[in-house]
Structure 1
Amino acid sequence: MDFPKDFGFRMPPEWAPHARTFITWPVCEETWPDELEDVRKAYAEVANAIAKFEPVTLIVRPELVSDAAKLCDPAVDIMPLDYDDSWIRDNGPTFVIDGQGHVAGINWQFNAWGGKFSWEKDNLVAPQILDHLDVRRFNAPFIMEGGSIHVDGEGTMLTTEECLLNPNRNPHMGRSDLEGELEKYLGVEKVIWLKTGLYGDHTDGHVDNVACFARPGVVLIQVCNDLDDPNYATNQENLEILRQATDSQGRKFEIIPIEQPPALYHHGDRMAASYINFYFVNGGIILPVFGGECAETDAKAAETLGKVFPDREIYKVHSRFILMGGGNVHCATQQMPR
């Protein structure tokens, strides 16, 4: 079997220049039984925001193309395709590059976060995108989701044990097995294993709600200061892991905290609201904000990111409707490097 690493490919960090962003139009009434039209408007807002910074390809079921086009900026390209749900971070391809600037894509296997929803059509989206782009494809024979990983571009990866070691993904693979595969497919040399994700996250603890790299050696992490909050203990455990860890280059991490928003609920269930679920674009950051009782933490998150990324525009999008489906801006997007 051919592996990307054998041909000099590696996954670049998200802040590296993008050729474009992919996003998928919401269709799943199981995910949003009551709010689908509002969610579509919110997704259009995200697509239109990204289009201010870089090209956007919106994947839309053929019968919904005209409806999506009415809400989206003309700069948003539309690609007709069939699928189950709208979280392309997880069922889309992960792109890798080599030293000559060639781009390839990894087609992971996808099973809807351990079989929680239908996934047969979603599992076919990545190969169809890669065939459409006519880029080299590497087919990985195991389950992996883009929201479960973050890389720094210099050999270090962040993930969580709750997700990658969950028996509903790859029960035949242990920690060392997964590390070996991630090295071969993504070019990473060291994996930092955080423990658990946010309370209420149906993805089983995706790291893109918990922590991410701002640049090599620097990690942003959402923090909880309420001892009675179910996120407090797991947050403290993850912080301690980061404090004790070093990256692939032997550096200790600079850790930058972002205060979590107040607890948000939908139909009585706690939602996994996170400012870490922002998305890098060329020259900017697309930051999910929640409004209302979250106004203060919304402002603090924007202020922190503005200091961390002084050369990027912090572009806020109201994403409470998107959050009702279990994810947010980062979950809804997938970058193709330039």
Structure 2
Amino acid sequence: MNKFYLPAEWYVQDAVMLTWPHEQTDWQHILKQVEPVYVEISKHITTRQQLIVVCDNEQLKQSVSQLLQQNDIDLHKVHFVVCPTDDTWARDHGPITLVNDQGQTLALDYVFNGWGNKFAAANDNQINQHVFAKFNVNNKPQDFVLEGGGIEVDGEGCLMVTSECLLNPNRNPDCSQAQIEQQLMENFGCTKTLWLDFGALDGDDTDAHIDTLARFAPNNSIVYQGCDNSEDSHYAGLTQMQSQLSQFTNAQGQAYKLYQLPWPAAQYSKEGDRLPATYANFLIINGAVLMPIYGVEQDQQAIDVMQQAFAGFEIIPVNCRPIIEQFGSLHCITMQLPQGFFQQA
């Protein structure tokens, strides 16, 4: 079987891609708080696999290289790509990489339009081509707007998405739901699409990306962000989402085992804006899960839930409180690249 398909995130990986924050991005005023989080994530990744770091310019590359070295990170495992960047959300501008049973990969390069033209994205939309050129990656540009944070696959034929994001007219206004579904199932080698119609986080710029709400886990499971505070503005939507998830079945018609993550204490910016703190925005790497925590009392309970859902994986908490200041979290700033990505095309 030589057909390409999108593997689950726990499929063995060559690397993870990060796009490093810099002074010309919205991170400028909190760069000192944000960079250490990037360094910590880089350290965890390089103990298990390789890392691609995209830098806006040569000077940034030199300073990041120095920073990683100072933190005892093995630079032999780090590959730098220098090209202009607008921002740092690698999950959404990064390549979505398919695999086949021969161990080959095909990287799909979708259009990134700044989550529906909300933000400048022209440079970020070009990053993948710079990456492909450097590593000679087998790739295919797609004339379709899609972000990696907007899709989840179980690797067994099921695709999970949110209607609020994928059906938003700011993405692919000329496509019907049926057309979007058909295109993505063909692209990813899936046979069934699960549409979540409820659940969205205050302060989320992505129009309810699935990776902030519900995620597939091994052994036919879904881990999702719960909300048990009936006074909270998210309670109704996340309760309806939970009900919908309980009705979902996989491509073979079996119900998923559900793991509910606790609702973290509300986080606010200095300006008083609610920040989208979610435990669902974790990254799976080889043998481990990097999960966001926020320095709140629910962190330990969330770690315990993740340990149940990912038996056999090391659960590594990373405090992402500075990251949510820009309304995303750990999964949003990373993109995994499956085994075979670095093979010469």
TM-score, normalisation: structure 2: 0.92
Does residue 85 in structure 1 map to residue 91 in structure 2?
no
Amino acid at match of 1:50: I
- Identity over aligned pairs, percent: 33
Question: Counterpart of 1:320 in 2: which secondary structure?
Answer: coil
Q: CA deviation at 1:36?
A: 1.7
> 2:291 — aligned with what?
287
Corresponding residue SS for 2:332? coil
Letter of the structure 2 residue corresponding to residue 240 of structure 1: S
* Aligned pair partner of 1:118 in 112, 117, 120: 120
Q: Which runs of 5+ in 1 are unaligned?
A: 1-5
The answer to whether the 8 A contact 2:264-2:299 is kept is: yes
Say if 2:10 is the partner of 1:15: yes
The separation in 2 between residues aligned to 1:218 and 1:255, in whole angstroms, is: 6
1:103 maps onto 2:105 in alignment: yes
- Cα gap change, 1:216 to 1:270, in 2 (>3 Å): same
**Structure 1 segment 137-152 matched on structure 2, within 5 A:** 137-152=139-154
The match for 2:184 is 182
Query: Number of paired residues?
Result: 330
SS at 1:311's partner residue?
coil
| Contact 1:197/1:207, CA 8 A, preserved across alignment | no
What are the within-5 Å matches in structure 2 for residues 101-250 of structure 1? 101-195=103-197, 196-250=199-253
Residue number among 256, 259, 280 corresponding to 2:262 in the alignment: 259
Distance 2:62 2:141 in 1: 33
Matched, 1:44 2:39: yes
In structure 2, the residue corresponding to 1:127 is in which secondary structure?
helix
Separation in 1, partners of 2:262, 2:23: 31
CA positional deviation for 1:234: 0.9
Alignment partners' CA distance in 1, 2:47 and 2:305: 22
* Stretches of structure 2 lacking an aligned partner (at least 5 in a row): 340-345
Report the 3-state secondary structure (helix = DSSP H, G, I; strand = E; otherwise coil) of the residue aligned with 1:101.
Answer: coil
Using the TM superposition, name which of 282-291 and 73-82 deviates more.
Answer: 73-82
Matches of 1:181 and 1:158, distance apart in 2: 14
Q: Is the 8 A contact 1:154 1:216 kept in 2?
A: no
| Residues in 1 aligned to 2:102 and 2:219: alpha-carbon distance in whole angstroms | 22
Please state how far the C-alpha of 1:28 moved relative to its aligned partner: 5.9
Contact 2:164 2:207 (8 Å CA) reproduced:
yes
- 1:275-313 C-alpha deviation (Å, 9 max, x unpaired): 11111011111111111xx1x211111111112223111
Residue 184 (structure 1) shift: 1.7
SS of the residue 2:62 aligns to: helix
Distance in structure 2 (CA, Å) of the matches to 1:322 and 1:312: 24
Distance 2:17 2:192 in 1: 28
Change (3 A) 1:310 1:246: closer
The 1-side partners of 2:333 and 2:6 are apart by 19
Instruction: Map 1:2-81; keep pairs closer than 5 Å.
Output: 8-27=3-22, 29=24, 31-61=26-56, 62-72=58-68, 73-75=73-75, 76-81=78-83
Moved more, 224-233 or 195-204: 195-204
**How far apart are 1:189 and its partner, in Å?**
1.3
For residues 30 and 337 of structure 1, the distance between their equivalents in structure 2, rounded to whole angstroms, comes to: 28
- Counterpart of 1:53, as a letter, is R
Q: TM-score, normalised by structure 1?
A: 0.94
Question: Which residue type is aligned with residue 230 of structure 1?
Answer: S
Q: Which shifted more, 266-275 or 123-132?
A: 123-132
**Aligned-residue offset at 1:78:** 2.2
RMSD: 1.5
Worse-superposed segment, 147-156 or 319-328: 319-328
Q: Secondary structure at the match of 2:161?
A: strand
Give how far 1:199 is off: 2.2
Structure 1 window deviating more from structure 2 (196-205 vs 90-99): it is 196-205
